[in-house]
Amino acid sequence: MNRTLRLLGVAAFLVAVFVVVPLLISVTGRKDVYYTLTSVALLSIASAGVWLTFYIGRINMGQGAFALMGAYVTAVLVNHYGVAFWWTLPAAGLFCAVASLLIGLPILRLRGVYFAMVSLVLTEVTRLLALALPVTEGAKGITNIPLPGAISLFGLTIVPDFATLENPRIAFYYLAATLMVLCFAGMYRLVHSRIGHICMSLQQNEELASSIGVNIVHLRLIAFAISSFLGGISGATFAAVTQSVYPSSFTVTDSVNFMLNCFLGGLGYVFGPMLGTLTLYFGWNLLFQTGEFQLLIYSSLMIILMLVLPNGLLSLGEGRRKG
């Protein structure tokens, strides 16, 4: 019964994302909403990576660094070397994953609080590198990034050339939504696998997990690499959407927001980052109407929500199921 309900829920979600939302936008004529929803989808992917590091008991405050790295990898490969965007997408993710392994190998051996403090400076370090390296073109950034080209298989066009579309934002929405669905489907499968159960043991008691032969450093590195891969994919797609990237495209504030998305949605739920991102993004824009009180109201609401719902917004549904 539960399995059937889950499948129905997944089917309803897919229909809503790929059919209902585009239909509503078409009826209302608000095509600008495509950009907003694309941003939400990409931010939720990066937040999912942060959630995974929480899942192994580590606080990751440096996801903005990997989103920025991914954006620059795509921008450099496309603009300077003429590589097709579709090849740069996995390349950006892999670059960030390798970078995270080099960074994580020493610091993931440290206790959680030290890892959090070190990860906090990663975004600023990456921003300074982007300002200093010639290949990133310094403060002026990389602009005029070409739109993704077509993908053909055996002469059949699977994905059209975005530049030929009347409104490329629709195509980017479908791309971001597809990446988001694949991301969270993979995360759900990972969490409910044998490795996922072992990762949960790290969150609960690392010493006990180590005593029964679990290589906790390797598992941390794997989780951090996957997290950084997702950050790189998100940043690379953002670069294609905006057709530009600057050292300030992702800042420390973004890294903190990725973390807050996880808290807000619920650290105990795979889909927490998705709901948290949606709520935080639209909530912040809604509070824009309050002017100078925006930040004060936003901060107060976040504190209240964390006190009232320490397990996030998804814990509301959990409470009803238990009742």
Question: Is residue 97 located within the same domain as residue 190?
Answer: yes
Helix ranges, the chain (H): 2-15, 21-28, 33-55, 63-81, 85-107, 112-132, 168-191, 194-204, 206-211, 216-242, 252-265, 272-287, 294-308, 315-322
Determine if residue 250 is left, alpha or beta; phi over 0 gives left, psi from -120 to 50 gives alpha, anything else beta: beta
Question: Is residue 159 located within the same domain as residue 88?
Answer: yes
Does residue 197 fall inside a structural domain?
A: yes
Does residue 260 fall inside a structural domain?
A: no
d(Cα 33, Cα 25) in Å, to the nearest integer? 7
Instruction: Determine the pLDDT at residue 109.
Output: 74
d(Cα 186, Cα 93) in Å, to the nearest integer? 15
Q: Which pLDDT tens digit goes with each residue over 247-280?
A: 999 999 999 999 999 999 998 899 999 999 999 8
Does residue 128 fall inside a structural domain?
A: yes
Give residue for tokens 């889950």: 6
Q: Which residue has the higher pLDDT, 63 or 294?
A: 63
Domain boundary residue among 252, 270, 286?
252
Instruction: Determine the pLDDT at residue 200.
Output: 76
Question: Is residue 26 located within the same domain as residue 43?
Answer: no
Does residue 273 fall inside a structural domain?
A: no
- Report yes or no: 136 and 142 within 8 Å, Cβ to Cβ: yes
Question: Is residue 82 located within the same domain as residue 213?
Answer: yes
Does residue 155 fall inside a structural domain?
A: yes
Domain boundary residue among 205, 233, 252?
252
Question: Is residue 104 located within the same domain as residue 128?
Answer: yes
Question: Is residue 162 located within the same domain as residue 209?
Answer: yes
Specify the number of domains making up the chain: 2
Question: Is residue 26 located within the same domain as residue 175?
Answer: no
Does residue 270 fall inside a structural domain?
A: no
- Mean per-residue pLDDT over the chain, rounded: 88
Give the closest residue to 38 by CA, choosing from 178, 186, 243, 185. Answer: 178
Instruction: Determine the pLDDT at residue 212.
Output: 65
Q: Judge whether residue 323 has pLDDT over 70.
A: no
Classified as helix, coil or strand, 312 is coil
Question: Is residue 136 located within the same domain as residue 226?
Answer: yes
Q: Give the range of the structural domain holding residue 1, as residue numbers without chain letter.
A: 1-30
Question: Is residue 174 located within the same domain as residue 206?
Answer: yes
pTM attached to this predicted model? 0.92
Question: Is residue 69 located within the same domain as residue 111?
Answer: yes
Domain boundary residue among 208, 230, 252?
252
Q: Which residue has the higher pLDDT, 282 or 87?
A: 87
Question: Is residue 150 located within the same domain as residue 10?
Answer: no
Does residue 286 fall inside a structural domain?
A: no
Q: In the predicted model, what is the mean pLDDT of residues 177-185?
A: 96
Does residue 275 fall inside a structural domain?
A: no
Question: Is residue 20 located within the same domain as residue 150?
Answer: no
d(Cα 88, Cα 164) in Å, to the nearest integer? 20
Token readout for 115 is 């890892």
